[in-house]
Amino acid sequence: MNKPLRRIAIFCGLLVLALLIRDNWLQYVRAEELSSHKSNKRVQIERYASESGNIIVDGKPITGSKLTDDTYFKYKRTHTDGPMWAPVTGYASQAFGSSQIEYLEDDILSGNDDRLFFDRTMAMFTGEKKKGGNVVTTLNGKAQKAAFEGLGNKKGAVAAIDPRTGKILALASTPSYDPSSFAGRTDKDGKAWQTLNADKDKPMLNRALRETYPPGSTFKAVTAAAALEHGVVKNIDAPTDTPEPYLIPLSSTPMKNQHSGCEKASLNEALKVSCNSVFANLGDKVGRDNMVETAEKFGFNDPKIFTPVRASASVYNKEMDRGGNAQSAIGQFDTRATPLQMAMVTAAIANDGKLMKPYMIDKLEAPNLDVLERTEPEEMSQPLSEENAQLVQQMMENVVEKGTGTNAKIDGVTVGGKTGTAQHGENNSERPYAWFISYAKTDQGSPVAVAVVVEDSSGTARDDISGGGLAAPIAKKVMEAVLDGNQ
């Protein structure tokens, strides 16, 4: 071979080698990156080429798939009672992606999970259509409906948990939205998406998991637990040394009470009528570091609470001074909590001091209903001893029987609760938040713990906004729905 031909052959060989290297680089090294790239329409087209599996509540699907006229995107997602279930399911849109369970369990729902490889392979030989698996939730349909309808046109949220297992029974948020309204990729879907995102009331915000509020007097249940756990209170019926007026530490400002009779009130009496002065005093005596310790055992300051949807971290400030700690001990100042967090507090107290990890997915199923994965109850922490938990139960039951929470009474059932009206805005300039936390107890234990927050109570006079008046009746309906289902 002459020299010019040899050079051409070597050059062509190098080109082939470069092509092989490039091809292998794209197919193996960058395969995952390219397959998930936002500009790769083939992935989206394949995703909506077949019917998805469903999200299941009480044995029935609350989602579905609908055949479209689209040339490329054959099926789109549908939702039954979409606004009621949106805080649970999230959305799955051909144009705007997905969220929450629809996003986190997409591999199961689409049928692309590695555990469904055998099903996909068999479908190739049998000619059957590809099918997605199912996500079976822990939700209670009647409790969810009671929560959603109870909130009505109010802005707020409800979280309900089975204290014995950590199963989430209800997760409602209002105002809400219909995920089906923008599931496709038409102009109508685009306009629905833009309208929702422009809404100042934020209907797509999951207030039960992702919004934190000052918990107000509902946090006094945590302070009561801390006072007992750290030995500041040994007898819940003994007088405390709380003066009237009680001055906030490092300040000349007196702590205001909404009720009379708080001077030297016992812990039991103070929780019943919600004495700010007593709990601020106890928070100061427990001390910031011990208050932080107890709050964190309940789940505060933890950014990694997954249900599997991640919840925003609730906050008890680790660096505030004595005055800030005293105010935080009554659920104000820097203290903030999600409704899920306050349901966790209530669940731990109702479960004799043991906090179970909250979860919303019971199991994952293959298309043939074989169980691929099941969630087992898991203990998260022990915020307080069994003895002290039962003392807090006694006090919370006194709140419902004789105190500020009488609107939560249920005939024939023991109910414990705590009301809260949290200040909002600079110098309390905005309408306060109305809170209520509660649990129901039967001979078989406590099957439900609930937290309700009403963020915006339009149509209610400011002086009539209270946890007992607005939030307690909603909690009662949710508890009744769970109890009715357990009979």
- Catalytic positions are 217
Which tokens go with 298?
Answer: 């309940």
Residues 172/209, Cβ–Cβ less than 8 Å: no
Contact 193, 182 (CB under 8 A): yes
C-alpha to C-alpha distance for 408 and 437, rounded to whole angstroms: 10
Burial annotation 374-395 (CB, 10 A radius, 16+ → b, else e): ebeeeebbebbeeebbebbbeb
Residue 254 CB neighbour total at 10 angstroms: 14
DSSP letter string over 238-302? SBP---SSEEPTTSSPEEP-SSS--TT-BHHHHHHHT-HHHHHHHHHHH-HHHHHHHHHHHTTT-
Cα angle, residue 267 at apex, residues 262 and 270 outer, rounded to 5° = 35
Give the Cα separation of 231 and 134 in Å (integer): 49
CA distance 476 to 469: 12
